[in-house]
Amino acid sequence: MIFDTHMHCDYSCDSHMKIAEAVAAAKQQNIGIVITEHWDDDYPTNPSAFMFDVDEYFERFAPYRSDKVLLGIEIGMQKQTTAADEALAGKYPFDYVLASMHCINGRDLYEERCYEGLAKVEAVREFLIDTLANLERHNNFDAFAHIDYMCRYMPYADKELILGEAPELFDQVFKLLIAKEKPLEINTRRLDDAGAMAALLAVYRRYAQLGGKYAVIGSDAHYKEHVGRRMREALGLADEAGLEPVYFRERKMRKMRS
């Protein structure tokens, strides 16, 4: 079964979707879903905004849990929160732990001021260096989310990740993920843009060339209308890059197409 492995519901403060709406949207499309509520400890602009009561999360969402509705979490990595992140991931019976980068060196990638005084190549290199530092510290996760997250927000004419701007750093990140057996996510949010598709294909192909074998696919939905969006495009991108689409249940990798 095809799974949308990244979405936010009742316990993500920036979400406009309830779990019942996500489940209904997935049923209509005949896909599985993984709920990945935000967990960003010590967030720069609001230290507790992206945290929630995990015990309550499991208690309230337990009736929805099934073969097609899995319960996970998206942990925003920061160097100073590593110990707490690792402990959280190990404490609860998540189906899936998705690691991501929403901040670099204590700055929020969402905010334009994060990029002040930096040329695009400098911002991308700083992102990759901090990503590498966090991936070296974090181990208790299953896949790495939206490598192109900053492309949504960085204030440059060219908003794409270009391998040639930092080839050695991209390779270091990919080699570390491969060594830890962590798939990259194909995030579908920007797959309606031909330029993004072309740039991302080069990124995922490089990951595959270095030995990466698998990719997870996630809509990053915050609205019911976005559940399962552009899954066809993402599957095509995975095929072109030479990556096998997978999802996780009970922290174990499963193939979407067996």
pLDDT at residue 257 greater than cutoff 90 = no
Looking at residue 237, which CATH number applies to its domain? 3.20.20.140
Residue 45 has a pLDDT of 85
- This prediction has a pTM of 0.97
User: Is residue 46 left, alpha or beta, with left meaning phi > 0 and alpha meaning psi from -120 to 50?
Assistant: beta
Closest to 200 in 3D by CA, of 243, 157, 153:
243
User: What are the tens digits of pLDDT across the range 85-143?
Assistant: 999 999 999 999 999 999 999 999 999 999 999 999 999 999 999 999 999 999 999 99
Q: Residue 215 belongs to what domain range?
A: 3-255
55: exposed, middle or buried (C-beta count within 10 Å: 0-12, 13-18, 19+)?
exposed
**Position with higher pLDDT, 46 vs 170:** 170
The residues, ordered by sequence, that sit 6+ positions from 133 with a Cβ below 8 Å of its Cβ are: 79
User: Is residue 181 left, alpha or beta, with left meaning phi > 0 and alpha meaning psi from -120 to 50?
Assistant: left
**Letter for the amino acid at 85?**
D
Six-digit token string for 201: 């294909």
CA–CA–CA angle 91, 94, 99 (5° rounding): 90
Could you give the count of Cα atoms lying within 13 Å of 150 in the half-sphere of its Cβ? 30
Beta bridge partners of 32: 3
Distance from chain centroid for Cα 48: 20
Is 179 within 8 Å of 222 (Cβ atoms)? Answer: no
Q: How many domains does the chain have?
A: 1
Six-digit token string for 211: 């030995």
Give the separation between CA 137 and CA 109, rounded to whole angstroms.
Answer: 20
User: What are the tens digits of pLDDT across the range 154-181?
Assistant: 999 999 999 999 999 999 999 999 999 9
pLDDT at residue 258 greater than cutoff 80 = no
